[in-house]
Structure 1
Amino acid sequence: MQKKLLGCAVACLLLSGCGKDDDFPLNDYPINIDVSDGYNIDKIADDVAQIAILESDDTAINIDCATITDEISGSNRIRTIDFGASNCTLFTGNQVRGKIILTFETDFGASTRNISFAFENFFHNNRYVLGNRDVTKTTLENGHPQVKINLNMIVTGPTGTTFTRIGERTREFTAGFDTPGNVLDDSYLTTGSWSTTISVTKMTSIAQIESPITVTADCDYISSGLISYTREDGEYLSFDYGDGTCDNKVLFTLNGITSEAIIP
């Protein structure tokens, strides 16, 4: 079942729709540029974090069209995932090329593990990605796995515009983690905040998850949570996904005016 990603749900409301084209046409409201470009950066962050999590165990998981090599350095393992010079299609449908280099501790039984990764000539949907990032995997007292993702990176789009992302996102695996063979019972809570600065406008917007975003495998839409976007010029936008009902309705507030919208 294909999940509606957070960025897609946001972008669909503001723009003309979530079609096959990666770049959305924009209307005249300027904050839409922040949100739509933020959506593309979110896709990069999510894909890279997922790869880092899956590939930071003792045994590498095979990725089609990627070559994976290992090197031991003291108590750390350095794992290079080389997607090659031509685009490789991930399981998410996004295309990548270049290398992701992971460095992680080999104490695989530790309750907390740190994973760092760097990029080498790495492109995601033809966007050039720079930066050194970190992921911390922790098992909480309630037994739930939690991943804290450092979002610091610089992305250059196909037209040369540069986007600088600083912040972090935390994802708690709330159900289904004890049944790895069944993804249909999975659910997650996501929190965090981050800023995005655009080189062309020199404008910075702040995204804040005000109430944890809930995603479950048996629902195509975000079922609850609240996220806001604030630009440094004072423009404000928020999305309220409700109280847990699986539906495609959302309340969005634009500079104090609240309306209901339908996610396509």
Structure 2
Amino acid sequence: MKKQLVKILPLVATAALLSFTACQKTEDEIETVDTETVESETLAEMEFNTMGDFVEEAGNEEALLNGRVAATSEAFPACATRTFNAETRTLTIDFGTTNCVCRDGRSRRGKIVAVFEGQRHTAGSSVTITLQDYYVNDMHFTGTKTKTYVNANEMNVVVRDARIVTPKGNLEWSAVRVVERIAGTDTRLLTDDIYQITGRSTGLNRRGIKFNTEIEQPLKLVMAQTCVRNFVAGLVRTTTENGHTMVLDYDPIGGEPCDKIAELTINNRSRRIELR
């Protein structure tokens, strides 16, 4: 529960007041740094997850990729194009050179390039995703994401050397994930799919502080068109190199609503936040 800071009366000694102010400033500064660490992790997690969604949806239109049937309306805006080179088994998603507003409200430009090995949804097959001049809300993303199928509904995912250049500084991120489709397995649509994600990650926040994360309760992603592209449930614990621990709860209200509300707990102080 968040602690309430008690107001100091005017008669308090000056020394005590200065001491209180210094402690409060230090605590607030620590919380700001820790909050930025969680924001860095969430930003990287969500966008690299979305890249995979784009590739999955675009791949459904290619018979040579053993695609499933896409719904009539998907995540791609009119300003994005998809091309497939059958010889190299390379899928390119091009958002153009000017900002292209997508269904999740984020503006993107540049290219997502995916190279496939084997048939999708088949054990041992894989897809490797790289980025070319790729920007999200004017932040520059680089890195490599590799997805390897364990079976039709489970994948091992590795993100390497991810880097995000933001106005507040640069951040780095690498992750190992297990992604499992837990609903929608009996249909050929994407929009009834639900995924759960487990794993861990490491990174460097925008202030140059190292951090590690562990997904303590599986992240849950609902692909329905009416659902915002944020996790509806899950618990992530983040620890920084200076020993601070933060917990992010994607379902603080309960009921797994499709919203942007989460709860961040730092040093036993909890507050609701709205994800970007």
Same fold by TM-score greater than 0.5: yes
Shift in CA distance, 244/127, structure 1 to aligned 2, threshold 3 Å: closer
CA contact (8 A) 1:97 1:124 kept: yes
Q: 1:148 aligns with which of 156, 167, 171?
A: 156
The question of 1:54 aligning with 2:57 is answered yes
Q: Per-residue displacement from partner, 1:190-220 (whole Å, max 9, x unpaired)?
A: 101111213x532111111023234556998
Q: 1:166 aligns with which of 161, 174, 180?
A: 174
Shift in CA distance, 195/229, structure 1 to aligned 2, threshold 3 Å: same
Shift of residue 95, structure 1, vs aligned partner: 1.2
Q: Distance in 1 between matches of 2:190 and 2:59?
A: 21
Which residue pairs with 2:202 in the alignment? 195
Shift of residue 118, structure 1, vs aligned partner: 1.4
User: Sequence identity of aligned pairs in percent?
Assistant: 22
The question of 1:86 aligning with 2:84 is answered no
Q: Distance in 1 between matches of 2:34 and 2:120?
A: 43
Which residue pairs with 1:235 in the alignment? 244
Q: Per-residue displacement from partner, 1:24-56 (whole Å, max 9, x unpaired)?
A: xxx641201111232222232122111122233
Shift of residue 69, structure 1, vs aligned partner: 2.2
Shift of residue 258, structure 1, vs aligned partner: 6.9
Q: Distance in 1 between matches of 2:213 and 2:238?
A: 5
Which residue pairs with 1:119 in the alignment? 131
Q: Distance in 2 between matches of 1:31 and 1:93?
A: 26
The question of 1:31 aligning with 2:34 is answered yes
Shift of residue 245, structure 1, vs aligned partner: 5.0
Letter paired with 1:170: V
Secondary structure of the equivalent of 1:50? helix
Shift in CA distance, 175/126, structure 1 to aligned 2, threshold 3 Å: same
Q: Structure 2: where are the runs of 5+ without partners?
A: 3-27
Segment drifting more, 221-230 vs 207-216: 221-230
Shift of residue 252, structure 1, vs aligned partner: 5.9
What does 1:86-105 correspond to in 2, within 5 Å?
Answer: 86-105=98-117
Letter paired with 1:125: N
Shift of residue 242, structure 1, vs aligned partner: 7.6
TM-score, structure 2 as length reference: 0.68
Shift in CA distance, 176/263, structure 1 to aligned 2, threshold 3 Å: farther
Letter paired with 2:246: L
Secondary structure of the equivalent of 1:55? helix
Q: 2:80 aligns with which of 66, 71, 85?
A: 66
CA contact (8 A) 2:263 2:273 kept: no
Letter paired with 2:126: N
Which residue pairs with 1:176 in the alignment? 184
Letter paired with 1:163: L
What does 1:130-149 correspond to in 2, within 5 Å?
Answer: 130-139=142-151, 145-149=153-157
Aligned CA-pair RMSD: 3.4
Shift of residue 83, structure 1, vs aligned partner: 1.3
CA contact (8 A) 1:78 1:104 kept: yes
Structure with bigger helix share is 2
Q: Per-residue displacement from partner, 1:124-169 (whole Å, max 9, x unpaired)?
A: 11111112221223426xxxx123332221111135x211101122
Which residue pairs with 2:235 in the alignment? 226
Q: 2:212 aligns with which of 206, 216, 224?
A: 206
Which residue pairs with 1:17 in the alignment? none
Q: Distance in 1 between matches of 2:121 and 2:240?
A: 43
TM-score, structure 1 as length reference: 0.71
Segment drifting more, 116-125 vs 39-48: 39-48
Shift of residue 99, structure 1, vs aligned partner: 1.1
Q: Distance in 2 between matches of 1:128 and 1:222?
A: 23
Q: How many pairs does the alignment contain?
A: 228
Q: 2:140 aligns with which of 128, 134, 143?
A: 128
